[in-house]
Copies of this chain bind each other. A is one copy, B any other.
Amino acid sequence: MLNGEKSISRPLRWAMIGGGRTGQVGYKHRTGALRDNTAFRLVAGAFDIDPERGRDFGVNLGVDPSRCYPDYQTMFEEEAKRPDGAEVVSIATPNGTHYEITKASLNAGMHVICEKPLFFEIAQVEEIKRLAEQKNKIVGVTYGFSGHPMLFQARKMIENGELGEIRIVSLRYTHGFSATEDAEKYSEAQKWRVDPKIAGPSFVIGDLSTHTYYMSQLMLPDLKIKQLLCDRQSFIKSRAPLEDNVHMLMHYDNGAVGTAWFSAVDAGYMESQTIRIVGSKASIEFSDFQPNRLLYQIQGQPYQILYHGMPYLKKEGLADDRFGALHTEGLGESWANIYLKFARAIEAADRNDINFLRTFVYPDINAGLEGVKWIQNCVRSADSGSVWVDFQ
C-alpha cells in the first residue's frame, strides 16, 4: 500500500513543457507527479505555445512567475543558471515535437518524461537511448494506464502459471469520439492527431494502441510478437493515410496468437480498454473502465472476480494500492503510480544504481522503443496491403 510517505529522499524539481490549459493531458501529468508532494515539486514550465497564456497558467498552478517561460529553450537556459534549477522535465506536446525536445532536454542535463508515442522513427529512439545512457538520464514514457495495480496482479498470476500456457491475447481500445469529421473541426487536440506532419505515420495506432500494447507486454513480459498483420481504415476520408480504425492479428513466438482492435469511430462506446489473456487452464480479463476488478475464469469452475485491495491478491497486486478495498481507484491513481516509479528510477540513476534499474519495471525508453516498433510494423503491414510481416 502507498500512503504518500516518501519513497525517495527528497522531491525532485520538476518542469513541464506543454500540458497547458487548452488540453486535458497536462492535468493527468500533474495529478500524477504532484500526488503526494513527496516525489516531485513543480518549479518551472513552458506550458503553452502562447507565452502569455502559459505564464498565466503557470502562475495559477503556483509556479513562480519568473519560472514560467515562453519556450523550452529559454527554460533550459535560465534554469541552468539556478542552483535549484529543474532536474526533470515532462513533455506533453504534440507527437511531432517529442524527439527534438527530448534531445534538447537531455542535452540540458534533464531527466525526461515524455508522452507516448515517443518518436516517429526507431533510429530516433535508438539515438536518444544512447544519449540518455551517455548522460546517465532516464527517459520515461507516460503509458498512463499502466499503473493500475491489477495489471501487476495479472502479471504475477501469469508468471506463476496460474493460466497455464498462454494461447490467446485479445486487445481492445476503442471509442467513438471521432466518428464524424466534426471531431477535428471543433477540437485542436484532434486536429493535430490526424495530421501526419504532427502525429506521425498513424492516428489510432499511435494514440490508442501503444497504451494497450504496453499494458499487454507488462502482463506478458516473456511473450514476443513474431509476426503481425494490420488492416487499417480511414472511415473519414480526409484523415487518410492516417487511420481512424484498425484491426490486427498477431503471432507470438511461443505459438500464442492475438487480435487487436483500436478505433476512434466505434460509435457510442465508452468503456475504453479491455485486455483478455487466455491460457490453457484459465483466462484473465482487465478493463481499465473497471480497474478495481480483475476477471479470472478457470475452465470448468465458477467465474471469479478479484477486487483491488483484498488480502487474497499477490503482494505485487497490492504494492501500489492506495485506498484499500471497497474504495474505488481510477486513472488518477494509475498516473500517480507511474510517476512515483519515474521518481524512483531517477533517484536510482542519480546514485548510479545500475542493479536497481536493471530489474525495476516501469515504462522506460525501452518501452517507448517497443511502442515505436509496434507502430512501424503495423503501418508497414497495413501499407503493404494488410499482410503478415515479421516483427522487426
Contact = CB atoms under 8 A, between A and B. Distances in A.
B299 A179 contact: yes
A165 B333 CA distance: 39
Interface in A304-344: 304-307, 310-312, 322-333
Interface string A272-309: 10000011111100001111100011111111111100
Contacts of A168: 245, 263, 265-266
B302 A279 contact: no
Interface string A172-184: 0001110110000
Given A11-B62, A330-B323, A261 B298 contact: no
Contact of A269 (B34, B231, B297): B297
**Integer count of this chain's copies in the complex:** 4
Contacts of A298: 267-268
B331 A329 contact: yes
A192 to B, nearest CB: 17
Interface stretch (A2-10, A194-202, A218-226): A2-10
Contact of A329 (B11, B26, B163, B330): B330
Interface in A79-120: none
B247 A281 contact: no
Interface in A1-40: 3-6, 11, 21, 24, 26-28, 30-31, 34-38
23 contacts: A4-B61, A6-B62, A24-B323, A27-B323, A31-B35, A34-B35, A38-B60, A167-B245, A170-B261, A229-B229, A233-B257, A247-B249, A249-B249, A259-B259, A266-B283, A267-B297, A268-B299, A270-B303, A270-B310, A270-B325, A296-B302, A302-B304, A323-B330
